[in-house]
Amino acid sequence: MKKVFLFNITFIFGLFVLIIGLIRQSPYPQNNNLNSNEIDLIIQTDDVKIGGTLTLPAILETTSLVIMSSGSGDQDRDETLEGFKIFKVIADHLASQGIASFRYDDRGVGTSTGNFVNSTIDDHSNDLERIMDYFKSNEVHGFKDFILFGHSQGGILAAKVAVGNESVKKVILMGAPSVPLVEVVLYQVRQEYATTSISKSLIEADVSAHNKLMRAIEDNTNIDEAYHLFKKTTESILYELSTERDIDSLKIQQDAIAKANEYKIIYALPSLTSFLYYDPSCDLEQLEVPVLSLFGGLDYQVTIGQNKDRMENALLKSGTDYHLITFEHANHYFQKAITGSRDEYATLEKKFVDNFLSEISTWILAN
C-alpha cells in the first residue's frame, strides 16, 4: 500500500508533538545585540510561574512594551520552529529600533510551570493578563502601556485580552485566524487530499466525519456513533488509496482503528477544544485600538481566503484604525517560500521575507 495522506493536525496546532511525547529543547542563546539588554524573568501568576525574556533597547523610542504570544502547540519563548527562532529575531529587531519586548515560554515549557495539554484559552488569556500586571507593578522594569503581538493562535489571545483593556494600546496579528479553528481544521482536512485521486464525495465524507467527531466530543453526546463513522470513512479512504493487487483488509481495519483512536484523543484535549469553537471575529469587532495584521501569500495554515475578509469585516464593524499587509511569497512563518508547504519549512533560510520586520517597527513608532 502506498503512503497514505492522513490529515496532520500538527500542521495547525502542534499537538501531535504532545501525543507522541517528543521533547522540544529550549536553548536561550546569549544576546549579541550591543544596543539592547536581555533580562530573564520568572513571573508568578495565580497558579503557575511564567518564564520569559525582557529585551530592552539602549534608548526607548516608545513607552509601550510589546508582549509576544506564540502559536499553537507548546512553544518556547523564542517560538523556535524548524530551527527558526521567530520571536528572538523579532525582539532583536524591535530593540534596534528602540522598542522593548517580552516573550515567554508556554506552560510546561522551559522555565514555565504548569501543564500545557490541559490548559485552556482562558488559562492562556489569564497568563497574558498577569504578565501585564507584573510589569505595571514592577518598580525596576515598569511599563503601563502594552502592544499585544500574537502569531497564529497567539493572535486569538492578543485580540481577546485587548478587548476593553485600557492598558493595551495596539494589537499586532501575525498570520492570525479570524474564524473558529474548527473551520481551519476542516479546511486542512480537504487540503491533505488535494494531490490525491480520491473522489470529491469521499473527501467530503471524511470532512464530515471529522466535523461530527469534534462536535460529538464538544457536546459529550453521540461520541460512539461519530467514532464509528470516522473509522468507517477512514477505511473507505484507505481502500481507495490502496494500489496492491491483494488488499490486506485486516491491516486496513487496524489502521483505521488506530487513526480513529488517535483523533478521539486529540479532539478531546483541552488545549485544542477550548479554541475550536471560539470565534475570534467577535473580539475583533470590539477592538478600539489600532490593529496591524500581517498575512502570508503562501500561508496554507491560516489562509488569506479563509481569514482576511472575515477579519476586515470585523474591524470595519469595530470602527478602529487598522492596517492589513500581505507578503506575497511568505509562508506561515513569514519566510520567503516557494510553495508554502510544511515540507519545505526546514529547508528555508532562517530569516523573514524582505520588509517584514521594518513594517512592524515602522507601524509601532508611527501609531
Q: What is the pTM of this model?
A: 0.88
Q: Which amino acid is at 320?
A: T
On whether both 200 and 135 belong to a single domain, the answer is: no
pLDDT of 111-161, one tens digit each?
999 999 999 999 999 999 999 999 999 999 999 999 999 999 999 999 999
pLDDT of 198-232, one tens digit each?
999 999 999 999 999 999 999 999 999 999 999 99
On whether both 292 and 270 belong to a single domain, the answer is: no
On whether both 185 and 243 belong to a single domain, the answer is: yes
Model confidence at 46, pLDDT cuts 50, 70, 90, reads confident
Q: 10 Å Cβ neighbour count for 195? A: 8
On whether both 357 and 265 belong to a single domain, the answer is: no
The reply to whether 246 falls in a domain is: yes
On whether both 222 and 73 belong to a single domain, the answer is: no
Tally of domains in the chain: 2
Task: Give the structural domain span for 265.
Answer: 10-18+181-275
pLDDT at residue number 33 = 55
Model confidence at 34, pLDDT cuts 50, 70, 90, reads low
Model confidence at 245, pLDDT cuts 50, 70, 90, reads low
The Cβ-side half-sphere exposure at 353, using a 13 Å CA radius, reads: 23
> Taking Cα atoms as reference points, which of 299, 366, 361 lies closest to residue 334?
299
Model confidence at 247, pLDDT cuts 50, 70, 90, reads confident
On whether both 243 and 286 belong to a single domain, the answer is: no
Phi, psi of 271 (to 5 degrees): -65, -15
| CA–CA gap between residue 291 and residue 147 (Å, rounded) | 10
On whether both 111 and 252 belong to a single domain, the answer is: no
The reply to whether 26 falls in a domain is: no
Across residues 306-321, what is the average pLDDT? Answer: 98
Which is it for the CA torsion 135, 140, 144, 146, positive or negative? negative
The reply to whether 24 falls in a domain is: no
Pairing of strands 100-104, 49-57: antiparallel
On whether both 93 and 231 belong to a single domain, the answer is: no
